[in-house]
Amino acid sequence: MGAQLFTFGAAFLGSAVESVEALTIVLAVGLTRGWRAPLYGTVAALVSLAVLVVVFGQLIVQRVPESSLKLVIGTLLLLFGLRWLHKAVLRSAGVVAMHDEEHAYQQTVSELQGAVSRRDWVGFVIAFKGVFLEGIEVVFIVVAVGGTSKYFPEAVAGGLLAMLVVAIVGVVVRKPLARVPENTLKYAVGIILTSLGTFWAAEGMGASWPFDFVSIFVLVAAYLGASQLAVMLVRRRPVMA
């Protein structure tokens, strides 16, 4: 039950962060050029992503031996999680600017306003591209988290629910979700994905963890401690003269 909840939660949080970014693009297109084309683009992108999940999910779960699957996907998840965590540490320490949905929204709007004379397919393509590219990360999170843990339906449910919640909030609010603590969420998801990646990669090597799934919490604590140490050291770095 704990493992199922953890899988669902990891897929939900990771997918929610990416969905917020996709929503920003769709809102910018919809509010600037009308809703029909970006909605078609969004639906087309979602269908393409669903096909990817079904095809890769089935292939991975049915064809690849479990230990190889855990080692390869665990390592990829580790790389993916550490990339998010690395960025989150630099953002927390003030080295890299915080991700700002309001800024991303304004940038997309100004790009679109320069292209008003074009036909409506511009709205379709921009919405499709935004949702598809952000959605690739959702697909990876869902397939990696669900395929390796044998809780694929829970991971798919987490990803779908996240997209649904973000879409509903987006329709209600009708402006970019700038108040979502996106950087904090990315920090948390980075730690969770890095821990899951380490856990599965080690299982794929043939090692068994003491206390099985519970040891993920030790991994979470270790990576949280390391990233806090990194933030502290980065903040203390000497200013170059």
Partner 1 sequence: MRFLKSAGSEVIGLFVADWVQTAVIVAIVAAAWYAISGLHAMPLPVLVGLILLLAAQHVWFAVAEARRDARTKPLPSPSPR
Q: How many residues in the chain?
A: 241
Residues in 190-219 that interact with partner 1 by CB under 8 A: 194, 198, 201-202, 204-210, 219
What's the min distance (Å) between Cβ of 54 and partner 1?
Answer: 18
* Binding of residue 21 to partner 1 (CB under 8 A): no
Place of tokens 């099985």: 212
Q: Which stretch binds partner 1 (CB under 8 A): 22-30, 34-42, 179-187, 220-228?
A: 220-228
Q: Which helix (H) or strand (E) is 56 found in, with range?
A: helix 36-63
Coil, strand or helix at 116? coil
Give the closest residue to 52 by CA, choosing from 141, 157, 168: 141
Query: Quick check: 197 and 63 in contact, CB under 8 A?
Result: no
By CB under 8 A, name the one of 5, 54, 59, 79 that touches partner 1. 79
Residue whose CB is less far from partner 1, 149 or 194: 194
Q: How many chain residues are in contact with partner 1, going by CB under 8 A?
A: 47
Give the closest residue to 171 by CA, choosing from 46, 19, 15: 19
Query: x/- site string to partner 1, residues 143 to 182, per CB under 8 A?
Result: ----------------------------------------
Query: Quick check: 33 and 112 in contact, CB under 8 A?
Result: yes
Which residue type is seen at 205? M
What's the min distance (Å) between Cβ of 133 and partner 1?
Answer: 5
Residue 195 CA to residue 217 CA, distance in Å, equals 8
Among left, alpha and beta (phi > 0; psi -120 to 50; other), residue 72 is alpha
* Binding of residue 237 to partner 1 (CB under 8 A): yes
Residue 159 CA to residue 209 CA, distance in Å, equals 27
What's the min distance (Å) between Cβ of 131 and partner 1?
Answer: 12
Query: Quick check: 194 and 79 in contact, CB under 8 A?
Result: no
* Binding of residue 95 to partner 1 (CB under 8 A): yes
* Binding of residue 109 to partner 1 (CB under 8 A): no
* Binding of residue 64 to partner 1 (CB under 8 A): no
Q: Which helix (H) or strand (E) is 187 found in, with range?
A: helix 182-205
What's the min distance (Å) between Cβ of 119 and partner 1?
Answer: 17
Chain residues binding partner 1 by CB under 8 A are 71, 75-76, 78-80, 82-83, 85-87, 89-90, 93, 95-96, 129, 132-133, 136-137, 140, 194, 198, 201-202, 204-210, 219, 222-223, 225-227, 229-231, 233-234, 237, 239-240
